C-alpha cells in the first residue's frame, strides 16, 4: 500500500511562513545594516553609538514592517536618522561621546585637532536644534543616500529633495551663525 503524503496542517504552514519571514528579514538586515549604521554615525560621530541605534531600529522594524514592502528601506532610514538625532539631543551622552571621539582623533597639530573637534561639536549641537525633519534630511544626505532614497524615507517626490536639502542647509547655517555670534 502506497501512502500519500498529507497536506501540511495549519501549524506547519504557519511555521514555514515564520521561517520565510525570518529569512526575508535576515536578507533585509544584511542588505541595509551598514547603511543604517552610517546614517546614525553621521548624526552621532561614534561608531558604537551608531551600532546601538541600528540595533534599536532593527528591533523596532522586526515584526512591525514587511521587509519586502517597497517603502521598507525608506522607513528604516528615516527611523535611523530620527533615533540617532534623539540620542544626539541627550546632553550627558553627547558630552561623553565627544570626549571619547576627541581622545581617539589623530591630530598632527594639537591646535588643528582642537579646532576641528570644536567645529564638529558645534555642528552637531546646531543640528540637534534644527526641526526634526530638516536634521534627518541632512543626516541622510551626509551619509550618502541618494535623492531617491531620501525621498522614499521622508515620503516626498524625488524632485522635492533638493529643495528640502537646501532649506535644511540654510537653517543649519543660520543656527551656526547664531551659535558663533553668541560666543
**SS3 for 128?**
helix
Of 183, 51, 47, the C-alpha closest to 122 is 183
pTM of model > 0.75: no
Looking at residue 116, its pLDDT comes to 76
Question: What digits encode the pLDDT tens for the residues 76-101?
Answer: 999 999 999 888 877 455 566 567 76
Please state whether 45 falls in left (phi above 0), alpha (psi between -120 and 50) or beta: left
3-state secondary structure 44-71: HCCHHHHHHHHHHHHHHHCCCCCCCCCC
Outline where DSSP puts E strands in the chain. none
What angle in degrees, to the nearest 10, is found between the helix axes of 147-154 and 132-142? Answer: 150
**4 pLDDT tier (thresholds 50, 70, 90):** very low
Check whether 32 has a pLDDT greater than 60: yes
Half-sphere exposure of 103 (CA within 13 A, CB side): 6
Amino acid at each position: 500500500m502506497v501512502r500519500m503524503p498529507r497536506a501540511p496542517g495549519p501549524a506547519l504552514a504557519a511555521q514555514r511562513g515564520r521561517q520565510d519571514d525570518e529569512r526575508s528579514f535576515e536578507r533585509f538586515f544584511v542588505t541595509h545594516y551598514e547603511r543604517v549604521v552610517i546614517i546614525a554615525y553621521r548624526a552621532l560621530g561614534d561608531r558604537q553609538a551608531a551600532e546601538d541605534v541600528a540595533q534599536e531600529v532593527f528591533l523596532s522594524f522586526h515584526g512591525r514592517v514587511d521587509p519586502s514592502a517597497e517603502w521598507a528601506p525608506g522607513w528604516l532610514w528615516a527611523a535611523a536618522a530620527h533615533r540617532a538625532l534623539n540620542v544626539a539631543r541627550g546632553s550627558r551622552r553627547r558630552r561623553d561621546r565627544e570626549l571619547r571621539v576627541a581622545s581617539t582623533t589623530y591630530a598632527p597639530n594639537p591646535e588643528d585637532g582642537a579646532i576641528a573637534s570644536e567645529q564638529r561639536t558645534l555642528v552637531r549641537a546646531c543640528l540637534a536644534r534644527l526641526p526634526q525633519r530638516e536634521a534627518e534630511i541632512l543626516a541622510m544626505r551626509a551619509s550618502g543616500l541618494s535623492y531617491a532614497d531620501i525621498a522614499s524615507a521622508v515620503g516626498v517626490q524625488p524632485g522635492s529633495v533638493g529643495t528640502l536639502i537646501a532649506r535644511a542647509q540654510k537653517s543649519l547655517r543660520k543656527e551656526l551663525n547664531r551659535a558663533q555670534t553668541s560666543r
